[in-house]
Every structure is written in C-alpha cells, then in structure tokens.
Amino acid sequence: MINQVGGFRLRTFLTLCASSLLFLILGPLGAWGSTYYVSTSGSDSNSGTSTSQPFRTIAKGVKPLRPGDTLYIRGGVWTERIDLMTPNTNGTSGGYIKIAGYPGEQVTIRYADTAGGYGPIKARGTRGYLIFENLILDGVNMPSNTGWLIRDGNHHFILRNLEIKNFKATALGIIANDIQIINCKIHDNISPINQAGYRHYGIYFNRGSNGLIQGSQIYRNDGGGVQVFPGPVSNLVIRNNAIYSNNTMTTSPIGGIILQGTSSSSISSTKIYNNLVYKNGSASDAGPASGIHIGDYSSGTKVLNNTVYGNRNYGVVVGSKASSTAIQNNITYGNGKNYYSYGSGTAFSNNITVDPKFVSTSSSNFQLQSSSPAVNKGVSLSSVVNDYRNFPRPKGSSHDIGGYENY
C-alpha cells in the first residue's frame, strides 16, 4: 500500500513524465499558438480569432502573429502583399509561424509591386521558421525582374503546396539556408528579353545549404527549370519532382536541372533522385537544353533513379571539372544525346539507354511495363527507399531503373 507522501511523489513523477513526452511530441507550448483569420468580407475592427470574426486585411492579420501562431487567408483574389517586415515577424525553432490559404479554398495573391522589388512576400532579413502553404502567387501584375527572393539572412522557410506563376522573372530565387520547397507548382514564368542576364528560371538556387526541392512540378519556364549557380551550395536534395517543357529561349542552355559552380565557390554533396525530367527544350526556339547537367566545380553529386526523356540536348552530362559524381539507375532515353561525361572519378553503373518500354510517352506516363528491361536491373541503393510516387523500393529482387518501381 502506497502512503500519501509516496502516492504524491508517484503522481508527480508520472505527471512530469507525461509532460516531457508531450514536449517531445509537440515541441514547446508556443507551437500550439493562436489562430487568426482574414477575409475579403471581414473587418479590421473584428477580433480576427474566429471564422465568423475575420480581419479584412492581411496586414492586420500579420500584426499579432507570434511563434507558433497560424494565419488563415480565406478564398479570393488579394492584391495586398504579405509583409512580414512591417512588423518584424519571426518564428522560432520550436514555434514556426504559418501563413496559409484556408483549407479547401483558393487564395490568390496578385500583388503589383511598384517599388522595392520584394515581390508578393516581403520577408527578407534574418527571419526564419516560417511556413507558407496553400497559396497561389500570381505575378501577372508584377514588373519585369521582380519575383520572390528568399535572401539577406532568411533561413528555415517551408514552402508547401504553393503555385507560383506568371512572373516576368525567375519565380523563386534562393540565397539562404534550410529552405524547403515541397509539393509546389512553379510554371509559366517568362523572360521578356531573350538574352543573357534575363534567363528566368523556375528556381534559381544561388547559394545556401540544406535545401530541399521535393514533390514539385516545374514546367514551362522560359529560361529553364532549376539552376544551381554559382554557390557555394551544399547538401541540396532534389527528389520526386516532375521537371518538364522548360526553356523556350535560344540564348539559354538550361533545361531541367543544372549545377554549375565556379573556381572560388563549389556545389557539393547534391542528391538528385526519383525525378522525371522530360521534354525540356522541346520548343522550336529553345536553346541547347539538357535534362540533367552536372557542371564544373561540383563535387560529390549523386544522380540516382531518374527518368530522363526527350530533352533537346543531352539526357545527362557531366562537366570536365566535376568530381566524384555517381550516375546510377537512371533511364536516359530519346534525348538528343543520352550521356556525356568528362568528370574525374565518375561512378557510372546500371543505367539504360535502350527502349525502357514506358506505358505511354505521348501522355507522359513513364511507368514501366512488366516487360521493361529496367525492371529489377538496378543496383540496390539504401539511400533511395521509395520511388517517384513514394512506393517502397525494391519490389522485386533489386531496384528498378528509373523514377518508377514497377507495381
């Protein structure tokens, strides 16, 4: 029988254990946070804390945000910028601030940037731990050369389920650490001037570390899909994306993905896997667009289990000053040329250039027929545990080659 003192101690111990467990699962209490709402039918004199009492402006909704808080923007077309610099809005590692479109509603930010060049979201400087989710960023009213730049000390941004389109600029420029781009659509961003310096891309990863581009569709961007240049860039992961129909500029050599460092800044330890990279440079006026280009001054790059099809120039090319590149388990078929490698120390194995028997190239269905020569012919890679659809690998005796595991 437990006496009162012992019982008290036991209950206290169990309470502390439970509290510690909740802390580990949920993070600091700040992560629970408050929720605010803005709506085109709201009023800035409302409390903003319920769907029936929303604020009217995004600026009013941003003002009270503290670490762990969420701001939901209700459906509609908004011509107001999301400004996190006035006031100085910042999350913490244990309490991200989330700004999101209300679930199930279409929220379009169509801001016209007449000064400052910040783009639709003004959040530069040493601020971080921010989530942007379920928003359409439409640059149709933006001036030339104004996209969204994540820079000047920004860090720990999560961009999730965004659509970024119609900018007369690179849609998304990154000079920052710990930036994640997940399940986004980045498309139809144009270059009004067909010359060097105005080759606008879907994503321009200029420099930073620990970046992630995952599960996104990047297509019909005039200058190219993803440019990583000039660095330094380290530990960037590009996986499970569909990157296609980019490059309509005769002056642009960028197709699907290109890494290119310089003699003074390198691109190191990049992982590119489970991507579908196809039909880049297919426009009649396109430049020499390759599918995946591992350029000079890159080191330790891994190009694994990608499907690279129908690109104007090379499927996969490795530059002469690239080093320690691994090219494994890739399907490279139907490109202008399939492979070209100069790089020192390139490990090249279990790739195919023969007809892989896709289900349908005309409908861009790159799943494998059961008779495909890619089935069970890859090397087993512990670092690639799923396929493009996140189905487990391998299904059979070994990894299938390409982005899809045959199910």
Residue pLDDT, tens place only, 175-195: 999 999 999 999 999 987 766
Residue pLDDT, tens place only, 33-49: 999 999 999 999 999 99
Q: Is 293 a domain residue? A: yes
Query: Residue 282 above 90 pLDDT?
Result: no
How does 285-303 read in b/e, with b if 16+ C-beta sit within 10 Å? ebbbbbbbbbbbbbbbbbb
Number of folded domains that form the chain:
1
Residue pLDDT, tens place only, 161-170: 999 999 999 9
CB half-sphere exposure, 2, CA atoms < 13 A: 8
Query: Residue 24 above 60 pLDDT?
Result: no
Q: Backbone phi, then psi, for 299, in 5-degree steps?
A: -140, 145
Residue pLDDT, tens place only, 42-99: 999 999 999 999 999 999 999 999 999 999 999 999 999 999 999 999 999 999 999 9
Q: Is 10 a domain residue? A: no
Q: Which amino acid is at 362?
A: S
Contact 170, 223 (CB under 8 A): yes
Q: Is 296 a domain residue? A: yes
Among candidate residues 233, 236, 242, the one with its CA nearest the CA of residue 274 = 242
How far the first Cα of the chain sits from its last, in Å, is 59
Cα angle 176, 292, 260 (rounded to 5 degrees) comes to 45
The strand pair at 276-278 and 242-244 is best described as parallel
- pLDDT of 26: 43
Q: Is 83 a domain residue? A: no
Query: Residue 22 above 50 pLDDT?
Result: no
Q: Is 115 a domain residue? A: no
Query: Residue 17 above 70 pLDDT?
Result: no
Q: Backbone phi, then psi, for 184, in 5-degree steps?
A: -105, 160
> What pTM value is reported for the model?
0.91
Contact 381, 305 (CB under 8 A): yes
Q: Is 119 a domain residue? A: no
Q: Is 158 a domain residue? A: no
Computed from CA positions of residues 353, 355, 360, 363, in that sequence, does the dihedral angle turn out positive or negative?
positive
Looking up tokens 């003002």 gives 63
Tokens of 190: 């144009």
- pLDDT of 6: 43
Report the C-alpha gap between 344 and 382 in whole angstroms: 24
Q: Is 307 a domain residue? A: yes
Domain with 228, as residue range(s), is 196-210+220-407
How does 142-151 read in b/e, with b if 16+ C-beta sit within 10 Å? beebbbbbbb
